[in-house]
Structures are given as C-alpha cells and as structure tokens.
Structure 1
Amino acid sequence: EAWRWYYVVVGESHVDISDTWWQTETGGHLITSLPGCTPLKPGSVTLPFFGIEPGLLDATTLKEIDGPGEGLLVIKRPWPGQARTIFGDGERYEQVYFPVEGYYLTGDGARRDEDGYYWITGRVDDVLNVSGHRIGTSEVEDAVNTHPAVVESAVVGAPHDVKGEGIYVYVTFHTHVTIDKALLTSVKETVRKVIGPLATPDHVHPAQSGLPKTRSGKIMRRILRKIAAGTFDDLDDVTTLADPGIVAELIEGRKGVSM
C-alpha cells in the first residue's frame, strides 16, 4: 500500500522506486533494481545484481528451494565486497554466517516469485514460537499497520505461561484518536482477521512518544524485547538512541501487565 501510494502520488506513476537489499557485511547492494531498466513489482527488491547468486533454503530441512517459494535468504557464491571475518573472532564469523556448508546465511527471510523477483519478509530471528506455531513479527506488524488509527508498530515476543511465547505489540497511534480498551481490542481484532486467531496479540502497548530508535532511524528491538519480558535492569547502553527518554515511558507502561 505504501509502495503504491508513493509511486502514484509522489512519483506520478512514472518515477522508479529503487528498493534494494544489502547488509553492512555485504559491502553494497546485492539485490536491486536498475532504475529505468528493471520492471518494478510493488514491495519487491527485484532481481540480483550482476554476479550475485541468491537462493532460498527451507527453514526446517535447510534444503535449497527451486523456483517460487519462501525461506531463508542465502548467497551461493562469493562476491567482491563480502566481509572476510569478524575482527579477533574468526570462529564466530564462520558459526554465524556459514552454519550451512556452501551458503552465506544472511539472517533474512525472503519470498521469490516465478519471475525470480525477491521480497524480503524480515529477520529470521524475529520469528515467534507461539504454542508451537512459527509466526513472523513482520507479518504481524504489517497486519497491525493496516488499522486506520496506527502510525507505526513493533512486535516482539514475551514470556507466556501457557503459550511459551506471547505476542507483544508496541503501537504509536495517531494523536487525534482516544486510546482506550476498545481501541486496543480493535487492533487485536484487526490482526485476527488479517492473519488468523493464532496471531492475535496478547498485549497492545501504546507508545505515544514513539519507539526507541537510533539516530539513523533503526528500531532497537533488543530494548523492546527486554521491556516486554519485564527485564528493566539489563537494557545495556541506551545513549545511542535518538531519544533515550522514551525508554522510561515504555517501562512505566509495562509495569502491572501480566501475560
């Protein structure tokens, strides 16, 4: 929806949107469109750059997926900008990036269509295990963000006595709405309708001052996870946040919540 709005309203249906996929460790874009050349598909990072050979592995069997499918995004061949090691810890480098022989494991999930176009579905470590069912946090966030009162959201897991892991949602609402029980319930119902009962959030936490972000705009999910878990004394360094004061407000909002 955001892609289509930007393309039609801002770009007047003729300006290319160049979605890309890359990491600090990759040294540059590995999956990217060539503006003016690559046919676009909404939300897709399109096709591999020259010389890059991505692939998908089944998350359970770790076997490579042929053709269209969804799984773990890997890179199958070396490339010039590839990180060579972790300073002072080469063993960790191999464990993190090469747990499956012959593949560079990106840590991201992706979907590929019949034309070879890729969509990034989110970090694979941001997958919740709710009563034995695997649910991606990005999938829940996408559903939450369809609610007309929601500005942005962040979903994390939190310990749950029955499910093992519950779905904890931080939401920033539009300033003109009244935040009450009915609104929070309607957010849960929205997720239930979009995804299904298993993905219904266990708790919706209003975050009207915003989410904890770095100065570059990256949401610090490790802080959100610890607050959701009720671990307030082990938040590590928060000085890198654009607004460290948000953390205290979120902690206050978490107190008294039972999962």
Structure 2
Amino acid sequence: MSTAEIESALVQHVACAEAAVVGIPDELTGQAIVCFCTLKTHTAQQAVDQTLLAALTSQVRSHIGPFATPKRIVVTPDLPKTRSGKIMRRILRKVAAGDVGEEDVINEDVLRLKLGDLTTLADPGVVAALVKRVATSQ
C-alpha cells in the first residue's frame, strides 16, 4: 500500500482539497499513518470538529480498508511546498513524529538543523503554522 492511495481516498471527500500522508514510527505497529489535509474554501470557514475528522477517517477505511486507518489527521491551512508545487513530505514526517516543537520554530538555526534545507520552500511561514496545528491536534 502506498501513501498515494490514502491521499486519493482523502481527496475524494467533499471537504478535502489536498492531502499528504506520511508514516511515523509507532511502538505497536512499527509505522503509523498521519494524514495532513487542507480543506476546500467553503469548508474552511467552518470549525474543524470531530465529526469532520471521523468522516475523513471513515473515507479512508471505506475506500481502502480498516488496516489503513490513520492514527491522526491534521487539518492545516496549507502544506509545505517547493516553489514548483511539490509537497515536502520530509518536513511533514519530522513534524508529525514530534522532532520539531513550537519552541524550535522561533530559532531559524535550530529549525534548519532539525528539518534540513528549507530554502526551496515557497512559503517558509507554513512550517510554524504546521507545527502549531500538529501540537494542538494531539
């Protein structure tokens, strides 16, 4: 199973505009699935609640199967992308695994050490927003 299959299932949901899926280390299963979703504009105005997260989880379970149930779904305003539009999954993976905390975002040198080269990011501000969303979604 690839992350593309899970991403495809998520974007078929009426509220999901874009999705990225990464694996993080998990003590029980070895790897756990973490999904990042951006919402369509008409949905983004509404509060993200447990009903929406349950619907997105159900979408994955019904399209792929229970074995692909995400451990966590994070709704974020944007995903970290290069200037050419490619999603930088290594950043998502490190943020989801907890390698980067809110205190790290303040210091660019620490952030660069933990995340690697960020010069290709189209919008560097996305990282701080992403770290904050992950911290509040746990």
**TM bucket, shorter chain:** 0.7 to 0.9
Match of 2:52 among 165, 174, 183: 183
Residue correspondence of structure 1 range 4-83 to structure 2 within 5 A: none
RMSD of aligned C-alpha atoms? 1.3
- What amino acid sits opposite 1:195 in the alignment? I
Q: Where do 1:157-236 residues align within 5 Å?
A: 157-177=23-43, 178=46, 179-208=48-77, 210-232=78-100, 233=111, 234-236=114-116
What is the CA–CA distance in structure 2 between the aligned matches of 1:230 and 1:244, rounded to whole Å? Answer: 19
Q: TM-score when scaled to structure 1?
A: 0.46
Larger C-alpha radius of gyration, 1 or 2?
1
Matched, 1:249 2:129: yes
Contact 2:34 2:72 in 1 (8 A): yes
Give the strand-richer structure, 1 or 2: 1
Higher relative contact order, structure no. (Cα contacts within 8 Å, ≥ 6 residues apart): 2
- TM superposition shift of 1:147: 0.4
SS in 1 for 2:5: helix
Matched with 2:21 is 155
Establish whether residue 237 from structure 1 lines up as the match of residue 117 from structure 2: yes
Count of residues in correspondence between the two structures: 123
1:142 counterpart = 2:29: no
Q: Which structure: greater helix fraction? A: 2
Task: Name the SS of the counterpart of 1:255 in structure 2.
Answer: helix
**Residue deviations 1:51-78 (CA, integer Å, cap 9, x gap):** xxxxxxxxxxxxxxxxxxxxxxxxxxxx
Q: CA deviation at 1:256?
A: 5.4
Could you tell me which residue of structure 1 aligns to residue 104 of structure 2? none
The alignment partner of 1:153 has SS state of strand
Asked if the contact 2:74/2:137 (under 8 Å) is kept, the reply is: no
Counterpart-to-counterpart distance in 2, 1:153 and 1:256: 19
- What secondary structure does 1:205 align onto? strand
* Percentage identity across paired residues of the two chains: 48
Matched residue SS, 1:204:
strand
Q: TM-score, normalised by structure 2?
A: 0.84
The runs of 5 or more residues in structure 2 that have no matched partner are 101-110
The ranges of structure 1 where at least 4 consecutive aligned residues each deviate by more than 6 angstroms after the TM superposition are none
In the alignment, the residues of structure 2 paired with residue 238 and residue 187 of structure 1 have an alpha-carbon distance, to the nearest angstrom, of 30
Deviation (angstroms), 1:160: 1.8
